[in-house]
Structure 1
Amino acid sequence: MPFIDVRDIRMYYEIHGTGPRLLFFNGTGGDLRCKPTIFESPLAADFEILAHDQRGLGQTDRPDISYTMADYAMDAKALLEAVGWNKCNVLGISFGGMVAQEFALRYPHSIKRLVLACTSSGGAGGNSYPLQEFGSLSPRERAVCILPLRDKRRDAVWQALNPQQYQEMLDQMVTNLLVGANEHNRKVGARRQLEARLEHNTFDRLPNLQMPVFICGGRYDGITRTTNLEAIHKQIPHSHLELFNGGHHFYSQDPRAFERIDSFLHGAPVINVKDV
């Protein structure tokens, strides 16, 4: 398994595929042992993808110290240097999109094209749902709370009308939440990551971004509101925004999403649309 010493931590990472280089930032609680990963996505056929378990998460070290968004960005920069990547495309999903914003602001010359998916800027641009509220709950209790937030259509009425599908989705979420649950400092790392997430605020700095930026999300997302995406779009010159038919995991619900992301990362021209 590929581990590497990066700054003050030992980091787990994977590189797969061929094509243009793509650095991927995963979301809150992201663990490359949880399936499906970015390597099972349609992008895997067209890109050489570098993904890692971020500080406090997955198989990467979980020190019991304060983490900052700058730490996450500097970790990624050090990883790029360690694997010999000078410049690449970047895709950040949810919390990963927050890290990607910080990374882009600190290291703009390392990025060719940037995709920010279902994420928020903080500050005047708004915050994503405060997931730290669920920190004391059991995995199943957390899943019950988070599932209808991931897709606002999955409310109590939908759950009652679709009991089997609801149970399958709930079980899958619990399975992922339990990966590595008994490992040393697992809860510490998760808490520290959420604390860093609370401090995220790039809003006033976003106009400094000059690389091509594609902003995308799901119109039924209850974790990241569409107004948050629109705020980012208004702040970044020459950025593009699209909403898709899904929730927080819109990219796995609407096949057009990965098609549009793939096209953008390959340099295809895009137009500003707020619905597709």
Structure 2
Amino acid sequence: MLIYLPGLICDARTFAPQVAAFADSWAMNSYGPDESPADTLQEMARITLDQAPDRFDLFGHSMGGRIALEVYRLAPERVRRLALSSTGVHPVRPGEPEKRAVLQQVGYDHGFEALVDQWLPPMVAEANRAKPEIYEPMRQMCLDQGQARFDAHINALVTRPECESLLATITCPTLVITGEQDGWAPPVQHEAFAGQIANSQLVIVPGAGHMLPLEAPGEVNTAIARWLDMPADD
């Protein structure tokens, strides 16, 4: 079983091309109900584990990558293979909570659509923003999440635990993948933390931005297929 974990104000639609390509797979749609969404990475990890089989492969995108690391921290014996996509392992940086709060305030002052229309475009490679078949479904997915879920996800990110020391303990086959044009989680960031994971392979996808699974589904699926071919303990 392969489980996909979506990121900030995203849901299972992030991985529609991957779920269609790999039969024994499913994507988390949300972390908790709309009326009380999970607001810590640890809680999101526990929700994932509660829905997962005893052993599984795990692919986390963006914030989902950080959740995947928390899943591994809680239950390393259950994770057969790990994939970290368009993500980071650094702690909360100076000024980060304040910058995220400014974006939240856009939603309070001007509505959630204004927030999404400010946040989403930089997450997508410029060429792909001009492709309505890529961009518009992605935008609708984000709009559907709403301010309350955005706020919960932001709280999870600004209260995130230290995780860089976890990397050296990861022994399962690990895919580290990002888009060449990802300005939020750039290739150099992935090169650095991939080097701290013993059994890892690094993939940089040309022409893609942060919303990698939807921007470059063919390349991502090829990388997943190679990753699933890596021997893992059962």
TM-score (norm 1): 0.69
Distance 1:233 1:265, change over 3 A: same
1:178 aligned residue (121, 143, 149): 143
Q: Indicate the percent of aligned positions where both proteins have the same amino acid.
A: 19
Distance 1:131 1:220, change over 3 A: farther
Distance 1:167 1:43, change over 3 A: closer
State the alpha-carbon separation in 1 of the partners of residues 28 and 212 from structure 2: 22
Q: Deviations over 1:209-241 (max 9, x none)?
A: 111101000011122122321222122112111
2:9 aligned residue (9, 29, 43): 29
Q: Deviations over 1:19-67 (max 9, x none)?
A: xx111111111234xxx442x31443333223223335xxx25428x83
Q: 1:180 offset after TM fit, Å?
A: 5.7
Ranked by relative contact order (alpha carbons within 8 Å, sequence separation 6 or more), the top structure is: 2
In the other structure, the counterpart of 2:198 is: 237
State the alpha-carbon separation in 2 of the partners of residues 47 and 125 from structure 1: 39
Q: Which runs of 5+ in 2 are unaligned?
A: none
Number of residue pairs matched? 223
Superposition RMSD in Å: 3.2
State yes or no: 1:250 paired with 2:212.
yes
Q: For 1:1-276, what aligned pairs fall within 5 Å after superposition?
A: 21-32=1-12, 36-38=13-15, 40-56=16-32, 60-63=33-36, 67-80=39-52, 85-123=53-91, 131-137=100-106, 138-151=111-124, 153=126, 165=130, 171-179=136-144, 181=146, 187-200=147-160, 201-245=162-206, 246-254=208-216, 255-267=218-230
Distance 1:227 1:87, change over 3 A: same
State the alpha-carbon separation in 1 of the partners of residues 173 and 183 from structure 2: 27
Distance 1:177 1:223, change over 3 A: same
Which has the larger Rg? 1
Counterpart of 1:76 in 2: which secondary structure?
helix
State the alpha-carbon separation in 2 of the partners of residues 211 and 37 from structure 1: 24
State the alpha-carbon separation in 2 of the partners of residues 122 and 250 from structure 1: 20
State the alpha-carbon separation in 2 of the partners of residues 204 and 233 from structure 1: 13
Q: 1:248 offset after TM fit, Å?
A: 0.7
Counterpart of 1:77 in 2: which secondary structure?
helix
Q: Which moved more, 1:43-52 or 1:114-123?
A: 43-52
State the alpha-carbon separation in 1 of the partners of residues 136 and 27 from structure 2: 25
State the alpha-carbon separation in 2 of the partners of residues 222 and 229 from structure 1: 12
Q: Deviations over 1:60-86 (max 9, x none)?
A: 25428x832221111211222xxxx11
Q: Which runs of 5+ in 1 are unaligned?
A: 1-20, 160-164, 182-186, 270-276
Counterpart of 1:134, as a letter, is L
Query: Which structure's residues are more often helix, by fraction?
Result: 2
